[in-house]
Each structure stands twice: as structure tokens, then as C-alpha cells.
Chains A and B, each alone.
Chain A
């Protein structure tokens, strides 16, 4: 609320949400504890660090990598990360020949189990439109240069199928264990808009 009692745009929206929540509480359709639990889950318990652990293990363990690429949902569940609304997880691998990018052209589908909620730009109309029509241009905006000899593959996510990119392992990381490898991973590299720099 503004100091003159005129609600700001955000204040007005917050009031709508409060009103909606109070009606649902009153009808017994939601419970405060369940709402708090869900918020805690998405703020603190799932996020891109889950995906970073998956990526690091795939880099370190060729058998796991094979399972991950064969059946993403099962291999991710192996790590203790369960999908949230029954979606299938597909992991696509970046190689010197192929660079993958994920997008949800219609809304904001995202691999929640391994990445949490998407970044703000991922949900925007400019990204959703341009990732499909001009992915190389979008990659340049993120500072990512992809050679003409590299194939760019764009994956459109939906409610049933969610993608995660397995980025290329940076050079000169042979001696690192999984925990150290996980620290090299970024969220943006698992969306495919960036590559991981050599350390």
C-alpha cells in the first residue's frame, strides 16, 4: 500500500492474491501449511543445484550418463529428485557437433525437478519467440558463439515433456571430483544458452 492509501500496482495484485487465498482457505480447498510447504519447496529445496549434481555425476560416471540419456526421468529419480507433476524428463547432450537449447514456446514449462522455477527471461515473449526462430541470434545475446559447423537443436517443452541440457564438460577438469564439478555448472548452461568456460 502506498503511504496515501492508494495501492500500488503490486499492492493491488497482492491484495487480489490475499483475497483469492482467503476464499480458498474458507472453503477448505487449501491449507496454510500446504501453501507454506510448497513455497519452501520451490524457494529452498529444488533449484538448479539439483541439476548441477546430475550433470556432475554424468560427467564423472559414464554408466550414469548412459542411463541419464536413455531415461532421464529414472536417472534423475536415482539422485533423489522426483518429478513434480508427472512430467517426463529428457536430457539432451551437448557435443562438439551439436548444441541444444530449451524453450517453452507456448508458456513456461521447465524441468522443475532439476532446475526449480525458470529465470525471468525464460518466461518472456521475446525469448519464447526468438529461441525458436533465431536460436543462434539468441545465443549471441547471451555471449555464446556457436560455429557454423555446429548443429543447433531447439527443444520445445510442454506439460508432459521437459528437457534439460547436459553441457559439455569444461577442459582441464580431469582431477576434479563430483562436488567440485557440480560447482562449475550454471543454470544457463543447462538451459543451453551458454557454454561452460574452461577453468
Chain B
């Protein structure tokens, strides 16, 4: 079975060292976890030989020199809002010039991301349309939230179809209880297999841990009273109602 691809959590390890020495003004290496991830993605693809560093530098330089020329990253709006939300740099020795530097420099990873989207589109690694579709799917998923709450009874849909359904077939039609929502996952090969649940943008689904009792699955032949927990995709489930 193909491994589930977890949607990145944008977590970073706890900061130990920082970007400064004790004699410098304190500063984290990355102000936000997304900055660390935008940085690491570009480094990782570079290390795997998808482009040279000089090529990347061209794109980064272009966006730094002429911000906002690519992608939906609203560099200027983001920077202004971020700057407004951030406290003024502390320390009496901050001149207006250094405060300006601090404010302008805080846009850096917005520009980095715009350059990254631009380069990945130009190299066809991630075409712009594909990225925009995924962003729309993420936004939709975040708006909607999980369909099933913990404790709700659900029935496994009777999915009988050629190909890989990512579903133990003996669960079809069985009823269980939502143990917990595991969060959003990318459905493997959703685009390639043409499942009816997948309209391209539905590749992103909640996965739920669903608890079944042994007798629910095996009936009278169940060799015990144990419970079985399965991780199931949103599209595989339907509400069971109270009478099930």
C-alpha cells in the first residue's frame, strides 16, 4: 500500500541557537515556520540537481529587484500587514535607517517564495496552474473543516471498483465510530486513477481513525470482543444515522 503523504505541518524544531551571537541583537533564524519550509524546499531541490544555484540566484535576484512580478503572492500587501502587526524593533540603538532595514528585510521570504514559484513553474517542476489548484483545494478544505466529529457513527461506503481503493474491502457496509480526525492528507494517485470522488481539487481529504468492534466486522464468527481501528478517507465514509 502506498504510504500516505502527510500534509506538511510546517513545524520547525525548537530553536536552540538563533541567527545571532550573544553580542548581537537577538533574532530567530526564521521568523515564521513557513519561511523555514520555503527555504528548505529550494535547498532540497537544488541539492538534488533540479537547477544550479546560479539559476536560482537569477530568479531570486529578479524578484528582489522587481518584487511582485510573479504568482499570487501579494508581496507588498503581506509585508505592509506583517510590518503593522510586528512590534517595532526593540533597543534604543535602532536608528530610523535600521528600523527601515528591519521592516524591508522582513519581506525577504515573501520574495523568496515568489521566486520559488516562478522558478518551479519555469522548470515545469510545479506548473503555476497546478499550484493554484492545490492552493484552492487547501483553502476549500480549511474552510470546510472535517465532515465527521469524534463519536459520530459512520458507515463505510460500498465501493466496488476496479483498481486500488485504499480500502480493506471487508469493511464495506460496516458501521463504526469516529475515534478522531487525523487531519488533511493528500489522497495518493487521486489524479492518475480518476476516482469519482476526485475532481482534481479533491485530492486533499480528511482522514479519520474509525473504530469498529470485532462483531461489527466478523459477525458471530468474531473470535473476541476486541476493537479494530482503521484510518479511512473522507470519501469512503457516510453518516450512519442513529438506527445503525
Chain A residues near B (Cβ < 8 Å): 1, 5, 7-10, 12-27, 29-32, 34-36, 38-40, 42-44, 47-49, 52, 85-87, 106-109, 116-127, 130, 138, 141-143, 158-160, 183-189
Contacts and interface: CB of A to CB of B under 8 A. Distances in A.
Nearest to A48: B21
A21 B8 contact: yes
B1 interface: no
A30 B16 contact: no
A49 B45 contact: no
Contacts of B220: none
A124 B19 contact: no
Contacts of B100: 124, 126
B13 interface: yes
A87 B53 CA distance: 10
A107 B54 CA distance: 12
Contacts of B134: 19-20, 22-23
Given A19-B134, A20-B41, A29 B48 contact: yes
A12 B74 CA distance: 10
A124 B54 contact: no
Contact of A17 (B31, B34, B105): B34
B44 A141 contact: no
Given A13-B110, A125-B104, A48 B24 contact: yes
B22 interface: yes
A125 B76 CA distance: 14
A187 B186 contact: no
A125 B6 CA distance: 37
Contacts, number: 234
| Chain B interface helix/strand/loop/mixed | helix
A159 to B, nearest CB: 4
A32 to B, nearest CB: 7
A120 B20 contact: no
A186 B18 CA distance: 13
21 contacts: A1-B142, A8-B85, A10-B32, A16-B135, A20-B38, A20-B41, A20-B113, A20-B117, A23-B130, A29-B45, A38-B39, A43-B16, A47-B18, A48-B21, A85-B53, A117-B30, A124-B108, A159-B54, A185-B21, A187-B24, A188-B24
Contacts of A43: 12-13, 15-17, 29-30, 36
A85 B53 CA distance: 7
B95 interface: yes
A17 B204 CA distance: 15
Given A106-B64, A117-B19, A159 B93 contact: no
A126 B104 contact: yes
B16 A187 contact: no
A158 B53 CA distance: 11
A44 B74 CA distance: 30
A128 to B, nearest CB: 8
